[in-house]
Amino acid sequence: MSTLDNPNETIDPKEVSPWPTGSRHGLLAGLVLIIVGLIIHMTGMVDYTGQNSGGNWISNIATWGVMIAAIVLAVRQHKEQELGGFISFGRSFYVGFIVSLLIALTSAIWGYIFFAFVEPGLIDTMMEVSREQMIEQQGMSESDADQAMSYMTWMMNPAMLSVFAAVGSLIAGIIFSLIIGAIMKREA
């Protein structure tokens, strides 16, 4: 607050941790994404067996929108309320990374709960549809499709799907944080 009273005085970013703001926005965004995901799932908008349905695109856009909004809000709050209106690109990226990391962890935990307890049969359905697509669309024999499915089995379980979701969320969050950091930086 002293920076607002004396505009010639700047705040040393080393004295202000980005973790409280980043973690608050990251956890809140993670909870919002769980709610959005449940709504999309309960309305049947997402086709878990195909990548090209309109519901999947809507789900992705909603997810990215929440992630971007959380990163922007966290960086803005950290810059305006905690750093006196100035933030470097690196610090802005760091705040966005914290938000993204907590969104990714929340996604991993929720993904495991979803595939293990909420919809435990969904993985088997996805595997069967993949097998049928291999035979019908790719012209594989049944034995070749079965062999390919045996290679996929190790990654088609709640734990691995959760890891893949977390990595995907983190990569998207890093990209968003880089872009947002470049846009929102304001050097002292």
Q: How far is CA 29 from CA 25, 73, 100, 107, 112, in A?
A: 6, 11, 9, 10, 18
Residue owning tokens 């499709």? 145
Q: Output the pLDDT for position 129.
A: 86
Q: How many CA atoms lie within 13 A of 151 on its CB side?
A: 7
Supply φ then ψ for residue 87, to 5 degrees.
-155, 140
The answer to whether the CB of 111 falls within 8 A of the CB of 158 is yes
Residue owning tokens 């909603």? 62
Tell whether the model's pLDDT for residue 109 goes beyond 80.
yes
The answer to whether the CB of 158 falls within 8 A of the CB of 123 is yes
Helices (H), the chain: 2-5, 19-42, 54-77, 89-113, 122-136, 142-152, 158-184
pLDDT tier for residue 26 given thresholds of 50, 70 and 90: very high
CB atoms within 10 A of CB 46: 18
Q: Output the pLDDT for position 18.
A: 96
| Among candidate residues 168, 177, 179, 174, the one with its CA nearest the CA of residue 60 | 168
Tell whether the model's pLDDT for residue 185 goes beyond 90.
yes
Tell whether the model's pLDDT for residue 135 goes beyond 60.
yes
Tell whether the model's pLDDT for residue 20 goes beyond 70.
yes
Provide the 8-state DSSP code for 82. I
Pick the more confident residue, 43 or 175. 175
The predicted model gives 175-188 an average pLDDT of: 94
